[in-house]
Amino acid sequence: MRATQLYAPTLRESPAEAELVSHKLMYRAGLIRKAAGGLYSYLPLGWRTMKKIMQIIREEMDAKGGQELMMPIVQPAEMWQESGRWAVYGDEMMRLKDRHGRAFALGPTHEEMITTLIRDEVRSYKQLPLMLYQIQNKYRDEIRPRFGLMRSREFVMKDLYSFDRDVDGMNISYDKMYDAYSKVFTRCGLKFRAVEADNGAIGGGHSHEFTVLAPSGESSIAYCEACNFAASDEKAELKLIHADAEELLPLKKVSTPACHTIELVKNFLRVPIEKTIKAVAFMDDAERLILAFVRGDHEVNEIKVMNCVEGANHLYMADEKLITAAGSVAGFMSPIGIDKAIIVIDQSVMEMSNAVAGANEIDAHFVNVTPKRDFDAKKIIVADIRMVQVGDPCPHCGAPLKMTRGIEVGQVFTLGKKYSEALHATFLDEDGATKTFEMGCYGIGVGRTMAAAIEQNNDADGIIWPRAIAPFEVVVVPVNAKDDTQLAFAEKIYDELLAAGVDVLLDDRKERAGVKFKDCDLIGYPLRVTVSPKTLAGGNVEIKIRRSGEFMNFARSECVEKILDLLKNL
RNA sequence: CGGGACAUGGCGCAGUUUGGUAGCGCACCUGCCUUGGGAGCAGGUGGUCGCAGGUUCAAAUCCUGUUGUCCCGACCA
């Protein structure tokens, strides 16, 4: 490819709306352009990288027995109604009607589609296991699209679905995918961690998120350096630490005027924050009030709360009215003496004694609260419902946990029979019995992977592509393309590199050297080959390694070989 | 949807307070010149100032409405 024919509009400045380095650089380097909020065009350079990532994914999926297919983006409402998700998915699903008024959705994911496809075609255990995947646009009408490709409304995703006879088979498929994902992200040159994750709305059994480590990431993960435990902050389980017994004092109501936050209460009553119990009020779709109680210095984990309340699919912050109706007061909520609510107590709260909690009336708190004595244990749910914090003991080995931020680029799930049951997808097993498929699903955000790669590989001058996903591996730059000797020399090297199988760009633009160098650094080609009067005179070429900034000179005769060598380590 | 900000040429911005009919840098086009780190000179193209309505002799500027965008919270690849 020649730069004079390449559509790669680079910018000196980034649009004011771009916040993240990766977003700015993708814009400036001419990889993407925005069409509307959360909707982007991939320009040739960006698409080259996307295609390279997709190719790596294909190779790794195929290596595990995956088969690529392609399903429709436009999906009929019926299959979503059948699985029950037409109602559950909510506003995030882009819906449309055809000319006859029939309802459709733009696929946010394809469990329904693939399951209905399979149930009609796969009848025998002999056809199993099956792993089918596609790489395709997905549509999610995000509440807040942001950070460029990190969270967009239309995005390219690889989604693979596995179908197995039984749970053992499903777990084998899961392990294969886990391994394939590790290989994909390693090949893309990313530093990542596979972390235990919550299954979220998709439901099912166990799950891992593949998280690229980056301070700008939206997800937070907890990990242990002593063992190999790592989990998303939503998922991370907490070990229960038993407290030492103390002498129990009698429960007493005290006046706490205007102390509606934990901070005010603790200062007013002069108690350490660990001796307070705070409440967070949620409601679900059925408008049931759910009160979650944790220690004052802890944070409530909404997902954990949701998971332990039967029938709750979504949680919202509770209406003040709902709290009043249940006989309590926001700011002074208490598990003592309230029955019109679902009470969820963090396990660590049950270990407390002589603590401070609300009194369900304005300007009053209880002191000397001892949950085991004062709470009616039959009416409450006790569970691990708090957010992990730095220093909490590792659930596996007990060592203090550390936390870091990351970008979730892929996730693997076991679904079990969730969809196959709902959609009646069955097969005949060896023993002649009708059985329901055990499924798994596995997604990779391709654009997000590209963005994450930039987030992890950049400097003040621009992107530093890992070789495997660089839009071009090498750029050949004649310093002055108007000089025929230089251009001819550069073209020769370009041809030889092409012949050697290198993905190479010839920057034959008649721009000044500075302009071309700036563009090279901005776009981030791993290697630059410079041809100039200086190098011509010496009969050699100059190589610049983008990542290290190192310059080196090689004799013309050996330069192709040297470039091939250098590329191996980039 | 709640809170905050913004909307002026492809990009970045000034002008709005105090109405007088749009400007700067970059990019783009032409010519000269220059060619190892976003050069210089000269000339040029492009915007009815998000949209709609109102006030006024006159609106980018004031008023009302509306749409879009970005940032902070609930979603997820």
- By DSSP bridging, strand A364-369 and strand A355-358 are antiparallel
A163-171 average pLDDT score: 96
The answer to whether A484 CB sits below 7 Å from nucleic acid chain B is no
Going from the C-alpha of A174 to that of each of A59, A205, A370, A403, the distances in angstroms are 17, 11, 45, 26
Tokens of A375: 């709470």
How far is A292 from A282, CA to CA, in rounded Å? 8
**Contact A157/A449 with Cβ under 8 angstroms?**
no
Strand B nucleotides within a 7 Å radius of protein CB atoms: 1, 10-13, 25-27, 34-39, 68-77
Q: Quick one: pLDDT at residue A201?
A: 47
Residue A338 — pLDDT band, cuts 50, 70, 90?
A: confident
- Please enumerate in sequence order all residues whose Cβ is within 8 A of that of A223, keeping only pairs 6 or more positions apart, or say none: A193, A195, A229, A230, A231, A401, A402, A403, A404
Report the SS3 class of residue A83.
helix
**Contact A266/A278 with Cβ under 8 angstroms?**
no
Q: Which nucleotide is nearest to A11 (CA to C1')?
A: B11
H helix intervals, A122-235: 167-187
Partners of A193 in the beta sheet?
A: A211
How far is A78 from A89, CA to CA, in rounded Å? 14
pLDDT in tens, A96-145: 889 899 999 999 999 999 999 999 899 999 999 999 999 999 999 888 88
How far is A129 from A358, CA to CA, in rounded Å? 55
ipTM of the complex: 0.90
Q: Which nucleotide is nearest to A17 (CA to C1')?
A: B70
A270-295 average pLDDT score: 87
DSSP at A393: B
pLDDT in tens, A204-234: 568 999 999 888 888 888 888 888 888 888 7
Residue A190 has pLDDT above 60, yes or no: yes
Q: Quick one: pLDDT at residue A215?
A: 85
The answer to whether A545 CB sits below 7 Å from nucleic acid chain B is no
* φ/ψ (deg, to 5) at A385: -125, 15
Omega into A129 within 30° of 0, i.e. cis?
Answer: yes
Instruction: Give the rounded percent of residues in chain A with a pLDDT score beyond 70.
Output: 99
The answer to whether A332 CB sits below 7 Å from nucleic acid chain B is no
Tokens of A53: 């990532």
- pTM for the whole structure: 0.89
Measured in whole angstroms, how far is the alpha carbon of residue A429 from the centre of its chain? 37
Interatomic separation, CA of residue A16 and C1' of nucleotide B63, rounded (Å): 29
**Contact A348/A386 with Cβ under 8 angstroms?**
yes
Tokens of A143: 């509440």
Residue A313 has pLDDT above 80, yes or no: no
**Contact A170/A417 with Cβ under 8 angstroms?**
no
Lowest mean pLDDT: which of A133-137, A323-327, A517-521?
A323-327
Report the SS3 class of residue A148.
helix
pLDDT in tens, A435-451: 999 999 999 999 999 99
> Residue A357: which H helix or E strand, with range?
strand A355-358
Domains of chain A: 16-180+413-454 (3.30.930.10), 252-383 (3.90.960.10), 472-568 (3.40.50.800)
